[in-house]
Structures are given as structure tokens and as C-alpha cells.
Structure 1
Amino acid sequence: MAQDHCDCPEDPPGRPTTSTGVDYEVSDRVEQLIEQHGEMLEDGMLPVKVYNDEEIFEAELRRIFGQCWVFIGHETEIPEPGDYAQRYIGKDPFIFVRDEEEEIRVLFDSCSHHGSALCRAEQGNTSHFRCPYHGWTFKNTGDLTGVPLKHQAYQGLDAEEWGLVEAPRVENYKGMVFASIAEEGPSLEEYLGDFKWYLDVHLDVGKGGMEVIGEPHRWRADSDWKSGADNFSADSYHTAYAHRSVIEVGFAADEISGTPGQETQMHVTHADSGSTSLRLLEPEDEIYFGYPEEYVDTSNLSEAQADMAAACGAATGTIFPNLSFIHLAATNDPDEDLDGFFSLRKWQPIGPGTMEFWSWVLAPADASDEYKERAYDVAVGTFSPSGNFEQDDLAVWDGIADAAGSVFAEQQGFNMNYQMGMPGMSKASIVDDFDGPGTAWDDNLEEGTCRTFHGNWHKAMSGEDVGMSYPEDHI
């Protein structure tokens, strides 16, 4: 008697569940470097090596991007059922999609058959995703709906068990969609903590809320993802030097430089998982980030938040790990008035010392098409691949990665100085009666915000929860 070619069980097994919460083991060298990072940060210093190291990068993908909430996109990017876009958590590919019932989903971009990527376009609209390898087909909910030759090849397959895998947790904060690939952890609201107070100023000041204009710009740079997150968290100390030429030719107001001795005030604050820098004008000057009065709505803001928005001409911020923003009044023509725009910026890790910039432009949803076009043009002229400000940053960040990857820095234990604002250094002092949460300084000569970011990096890499401000005795 001939034997059957396959000794298959009568009842095929279902899809195995994945284990969660497994700690990622690293070498003793990396553990020592992480420990050294935390000890040195207490004294306001950082080992440069963490900015370009293969083992550190692999640990970051698992201990940071594998655990934290990561920004996926804004809901206005996918306004219609079937709209989708490719996105990433760390280096992992996902499909950001609005299904036919208008629910926003974040689906792992891998066919449940043999693992091929499904999404072959950066963005589009579809009711189904079909694998180009063997033709398995999935609804935009992730449900498996089509298997070629199913009745001959997969008679016992339970389609309900073999749909696309979703990110375990997806949450939306006022249009900003975040996802976490960790099964458990704090909610997004808990993770953002008091930083929501500042986010609300930016998201609620525009009439009708904020809306994405066009597609996100994307370009690569030989810089580590932490350079962007650190800078926007906020390193306003660099503005007067790295960006001086932009200010001198009139493409931005001198007030945004934040240099001491001006009539403007510089308040730099940090709270919970985020850090932010605010350039505040005198109380009688109302600027609202450069938006015309008819596109401003402060009805959803507290009095303190509305006052801050009215006085703010520029602001940057970072939500750990790799989402930053800039809200800026600027111009492409020194003879024209300033126009406001809001830009979300994601520092996408590609490899040690290498990242991809993602930059979204937003404006008040109820603004005219003409104003949105003007705001977009100003954003392109300032913070984009060809932007005046952007090119200044790119000219210096790659040098950090170069130094971090050098043999000399490793042999000499080369360290960076982040001591500004610590006792005995600058004259910056903490503002006791600041209306917002967190810690505020009276000018930009401090690096507590940057130390907050690196403090969160150290906690995440050490397996601790991220979301608390760095201890005040270390700011």
C-alpha cells in the first residue's frame, strides 16, 4: 500500500500565540555602557558612543521602540474608508489604514502565509490587500478573505485565525495616532502625562483643529535618530549660531533666536515623557504662532494655555522616543508678513548613526485653501529637505555620528557636555510661578530639557518605565 505523502494531523493546529514581555539580553559591554550613561548624566555628561553603535542600536529597537508608544500618523492623512499609508515602528513595517467601518488600524505588513510584504505603494486607497507572492487576500480590517485553491490546498484552514496581525495597542490623541507593539504598559494618556497640557496648546489653537497638508516629506541623513529628538527637545542654545544666517536675511524673526538680553522671554519646560521650548513675546503682543486672527480658536484652551498661545511665536518639542514638532511663525520673503505652520517630525531609525527624516505640515483645518498653500510653502522653505533651517542642522548632526563611530572616541572614552543650567554653570533660573506643568527656566541657557530626553533614554534602556520627568536635583 502506498503511503500518503504527508503525515498531517486530522485537525490542523491554529495559529500559535506570541510570547510577550521577554527581556532582550545584551552583552556585558552594552550593559556597562548603559550604566555609564546613567551615572554620567547625573553630572551632565554623556558618552558619545551611544550615538553610533551597532549593539546599542539593536537594543534600542527592542527596549525602546519595542516598548514605548510610537507616533504612526495623523488621522487626517487617511480621511476616507480604505485610505492607507506605509509606516514604521522602529524598523518594523506597518499599514496605517482606515477600514470600511472607518476604524483606524495599524496592521503588521506581512502576509500570514509566507511573510511577504503586502503594501507595495507608499499610500493609496483599497478595500483589500493581496499578497504578491501566493495571492492570499485580506480586507483592510486585516481579515483573511481569499486563499487561492483553498478547497484543494488548505481545506482545514480556519481563516479567522490567519488574518493580518495588528499592533497590540493603538490609541488616538486629538488626531495623532500612536501604537505600541508591547502587549502591556501605560495607556497613551498616562504615557503623555502632563505633556498633554502643551500638546493641547498646539493642537487646539487652530480653528477646526489641525489638518495635515500634503504628504510627509522623507529623506535620509548620516545622523543618529537621537540627534533630532535631542535638538527639538529643546536645544534652543544652537539657534543663534547654527541658524544665524537665516535670521540675518530676514526669513525668521530675530525673536526666535532666544539669545539673552532681548526683550522677549525664553521659557524652556519639560514634563513627563516630553520636553518643549517656548519663545514667548511680551504679553501685549498677540501672535498665535503666526496664524491670522480668523483662524485662531482658543475656546478649548484654559486661560493659561490661551495666553501662552497668544504670546508664542515659535515652539519646539519632543515626545519620547522619536516624535518632535515645531510650531513657527516664519516667511519665505523678508518683505511679506509671517505665516504660521505646525510640523510634526519623526526621527525614523535606519541603523546606527543613520536615520530617515519624516516631516508633516499641518495648518488649521478651517483655514482657506489659499492660506494652507501659503503655510505649506513657508514650511517647505524652512523645515524640509530644501529648507533653510533644515540644512543648517544637517550640516552639524552628521559630525556627531562620525565622532561616535570613531576608534579614537571609543579608546579615549570621549564624552559630551550637557551641564548648562546645572548649579554653578549658567545664570538660567527656574521660574517658580510658571503657569504650565513641569519645570521652566527664564531663558534658553540651560540643557535640562535635553537631559530629560537622555534620562528617559537611560530608563528605557534599563528596562524602566518612561514618563516621569528627570529628577529635579539633576536638571
Structure 2
Amino acid sequence: MNEQVNSGELASAEVVGQSGLPLSELVSDRRVHSSVYTDQAIFDLEMDRIFTKTWVYIGHESEVPKKGDFRLRKIGRQPVIMVRDKDGKINVMMNRCLHRGAIVAEVEAGNTKFFRCWYHGWTYDTTGKLVQVTADEGYEPGFCEKKGGLARPPLVDDYRGFVFACLDENAAPLDKHLGQAADLLNYLIDASPTGKIRLDAGVNKTSYRGNWKLVGMDGYHVNYVHASVVQGWSENSDSGIAAMHKNDPFSDEALTRTRDLGNGHVLLDFREHRMAAIDKYLEFLRGAPGGEKYVEDMIAAYGEEQAKKNMSLAGDPHLGVFPNLQVIGNQVRIMNPISAGETEVLMFPVMFEGVPDELNTLRLRQHESFYGPSSAGSPDDAEIFERAQQGMRATVNPWVDISRGLHREEVDADGTIVGKISDETTQRGQIRAWRKLMTGG
């Protein structure tokens, strides 16, 4: 008698790429096969099984504030347009003409009433509707109406202005996908007294010759890759942001933790550590230009206790939302996978609404100091990612170890898995989501 085998079991046993191993054996809680990062065949499968099967962050509503404003983004390698239409609604549409498949929007941002394909001149409005074809005598009457409009992802939703899309109509709703990650996004949004943020200060773009999954939430590397920055923080630990790093938050003796929130979402949790230094931080804020008004407005908006919690992280939950969004430092970050060995990273400084201009200027300077092209931090990360990618081409022992802290993890009351700040709880959380999506189980 033949036993029925489900598609998840078949996918788990599937061999992809050069490793010769089934997908299910490429990763575990202790190790990951290097081919997961280096093999183009595995990367191509990721584009199908991860980026088309789960929710992907597209952009923030503040990036398209006016009717006709648009931004070009990607779902994996697929081009999409985020646009605010003539009625004020934000739409996400595939950037592909209905005729011969050419893109209809070329510049990465702008304002328009129509998208026009340069191949044969087919024209669409900001709702995606096909409104005109050239030399229309070659088509039957009513052709535009019958043809419809630009294709759309089956699912589009937002969480407090963060717009997501999913190409799988059977995917779970966005709120279920985000789970506890939504609560952490609130720490960014509610660091504004109005509960509104803006991503209108431009973008830092970088690319590195390495895999997209290397951009992880890693508390282990900071004291080594960013040693000079950490030393600077310790030498100025009684002022500014440095006060929040007093007593080395990247020490396993600190109050900081790593968390696996589920669904691949992970966190470097500084909440308890930073609340321990909140009075010192508020003293700094009150002394900064515009800071006194900011603190008082936050207390008026949220009450003193909640305002302190909201301000403690300075809008930085240090959150990774699988597969392509991170909220770190003063920025919202998008990871765009290009190939197995190349990744683009877009970093958008976050401005708070309802605060003095001087405070947002300070936030922007802080962003530039660590994440700008000539900064003290981000170039170090790109360099180490490239060194990792180079080293993983050696296949004599092809395994990457992610077991740090596995023996001392705990499950918190909220169901999250918790480790010390240097533990690879975050890497394990991400790779579990990778395995589930890649194997269907």
C-alpha cells in the first residue's frame, strides 16, 4: 500500500544546488551549510519560496505624501511601484506593461499623473488603469477597458504606515505574520509625540559582495568589528547617546538580550538596559536643542511612565522583520537581494513628526555618524560581510556555526526565545523561518 507523501516532505527531501544534501539537512539550530549563502541555485529558489510566499516590506506612507508621488521598490527581484493615486490611496503595482512586459516607471521616485511605457507608449494612470494605447485603430473598440490595468500583488496591507505586500493570496494576514514584531515597531512610531514618523530625509545606499542573509541582528560582533566605536562610547559614557551604552550593553553580564520573536523576526533587546539609564538620557535630551519641548510633549501625549519607555530606545528597537526589513539606529533599512553573492541595502533616516527641527537634525547627524558612507560603523559591516562570503567559498569544511548560547536559551512568558546579547538566538530564529519556507514545513 502506497503512503501519501505531502508536498512539505517532498520539499524537505529535495536536493538543490551543489551540496548534494536535502534542503532540510542544510540548516539546523547548530549549523548552516555554506551553500545556503553561496549557491545561486538556492538563491533562485529563495526568490520563489520566500520572497513570493511571505509578506515583504515595500515602503512607508510618508515616502509618497502627495497624490501622484511614487517610489520604485522590489519584491525579491520583481519590480513594483508604490504610488499614491488621484484619490489619495496608496497602491502597490507590478512595474510591468501589459503589452510586451517592459517597465512603465524608470526613475526611482517622482510625481506623476500617468505611467507611460517607452516601448510602444501604452499609458496607465496612478490607479494602474490602462487609459490609452497608441495607434488605437489597431485594436478593437473597448480594448483598454477589457485589458484592465497593471497587475497587483494579491495582498497589500499596512501597519501604522509601513506598507507590505505578498504575492501569495493564501498567506496568513499581515498582523499574524508580524506577531510581536508589531509591538516593537511601536517603539519607533511612538517615539514621536504625534505617533507619526517621516522617511523624507533621503537615503543612504550601499551594496556589498555577499548574501542577503548576512545582514543579521548580531550582538556578538559589536565589540570586535566596531571596537573603536565602542571605545569612543565608553570614553564619553556620561553624555548623549553614549550614556545609553554605559556598562557595555554588548556584554553578556548586561541587561540586554537577544530574542526570537517567531516567523523569522528577531530582536536585540535593549529595553531593560536603556530604561536603567533613562534619567541620564532624559538629562541629555533636555539639554539638547529642542529637547526640553520634546520631552514635555512626549509626557503630555503618553503620560510620564509610557513616555519614558517610548523615549528610552530613541526610536531604535533594533528589530529585524523577516525577510527584508530592519529598524536599527535612526533608520529604516531595506535589504534587496540581487544574487547569491550581492546585496543592496537602502537606509532611510527616520524623522519624527511634531518635534522641533533641531531634534531631527541631531537624529540625522547621529545616523550619518554610524551609517553614512564615511561613517564609523556601516562600512565595517559591509567589509566583514564580504570577507565572510569569500571565506565560505572554501568547501573542505562547509559548515557555518550558529550554536552560541544554544545551551542557555530560555522561553520567556510571552513565548519568545531569549538568549544573552552575544548569543546567536537571532541567527537561529531567522534560519528557522528560512527552513520552514524553503521546505514547506
TM over 0.5, shorter chain: yes
Aligned match of 1:351: 339
Alpha-carbon shift at residue 120 of structure 1 (Å): 1.9
Identity of aligned residues (%): 26
In structure 2, relative to structure 1, the CA distance for the partners of 1:74 and 1:288 (3 Å cut) is farther
Cα distance in 1, alignment partners of residues 283 and 141 from structure 2: 61
Q: Give 1:14's aligned residue.
A: none
Q: Distance in 1 between matches of 2:430 and 2:11?
A: 22
User: 279-288 or 120-129: which moved more?
Assistant: 279-288
Match of 2:223 in 1: 240
Task: Say which structure is richer in helix.
Answer: 2
| Equivalent in the alignment of 1:218 | 205
Cα drift, residue 162 of structure 1: 3.2
Instruction: Structure 2: give runs of 5+ residues left out of the alignment.
Output: 1-9, 286-290
Residue equivalent to 2:383:
395
Q: How does 1:95-134 map to 2 (within 5 A)?
A: 95-134=81-120
| Counterpart in the other structure of 2:182 | 196
Give the superposition deviation at 1:192.
0.5
Amino acid at match of 1:320: F
Name 1:452's counterpart in structure 2.
429
TM (norm. structure 1) is 0.79
Which amino acid letter does the alignment assign opposite residue 207 of structure 2?
R
User: What secondary structure, in the 3-state scheme, does the structure 2 residue paired with 1:124 have?
Assistant: strand
On the 8 A contact 1:197/1:437 being kept in 2, the answer is no
Determine helix, strand or coil for the equivalent of 1:271.
Answer: strand
Cα root mean square deviation, aligned: 2.9
Which amino acid in the other structure matches residue 414 of structure 1? P
Q: How many residues align?
A: 409
| CA-CA distance at 1:386 after TM superposition | 2.6
Q: Can you give the 5+ residue segments of structure 1 that lack an aligned partner in the other structure?
A: 1-22, 328-341, 465-475
Moved more, 381-390 or 55-64: 381-390
How many angstroms apart in 1 are the aligned matches of 2:52 and 2:232?
Answer: 44
Question: Deviations along 1:383-423, whole A, 9 cap, x unmatched?
Answer: 1333211011112111222233x2x31xx242111111122
**Within 5 A, what are the aligned runs for 1:18-417?**
28-30=15-17, 32-38=21-27, 41-42=28-29, 44-155=30-141, 157-208=143-194, 209-228=196-215, 230=216, 232=217, 235-250=218-233, 253=242, 254-255=245-246, 257-260=248-251, 264-273=254-263, 274-279=265-270, 280-281=273-274, 283=276, 285-286=278-279, 287=281, 292=291, 294-295=293-294, 297=298, 308-312=309-313, 315-327=317-329, 342-404=330-392, 406=393, 408-409=394-395, 412-417=396-401
Q: Partner of 2:188: helix, strand, or coil?
A: helix
- Aligned to 2:354, what secondary structure does the other structure show? coil
Distance 2:422 2:346 in 1: 29
The amino acid across from 1:415 in the alignment is W
Deviation at 1:368, TM superposition (A): 2.3
* CA deviation vs aligned residue, 1:65-85 (integer Å, no higher than 9, x gap): 011100111100000000001
What is the SS of the residue equivalent to 2:210?
coil
2:440 aligned partner: 463
Query: Aligned partners of 2:416 and 2:282: how far apart in 1?
Result: 22
Partner deviation per Cα, 1:332-360 (whole Å, 9 max, x = no partner): xxxxxxxxxx3111111001111001111
Give the deviation of 1:306 after TM superposition: 5.5
| TM-score normalized by the length of structure 2 | 0.84
8 Å CA contact retained: 1:265, 1:282: no
Residue identity opposite 2:293 in structure 1 = E
Q: Which amino acid counterpart does residue 239 of structure 1 have in structure 2?
A: V
Q: 1:289 to 1:199 in 2, by over 3 A?
A: farther
Code of the aligned partner of 2:33:
P
1:156-204 residue CA offsets vs partner (Å, 9 max, x unmatched):
6252433111121111101110111112211110100122221212222
* Contact kept in structure 1, 2:252 and 2:422, CA below 8 Å: no
CA contact 1:57–1:351 (8 Å) conserved in 2: yes
Q: Distance in 2 between matches of 1:353 and 1:132?
A: 32
Return the offset for 1:267. Answer: 2.4
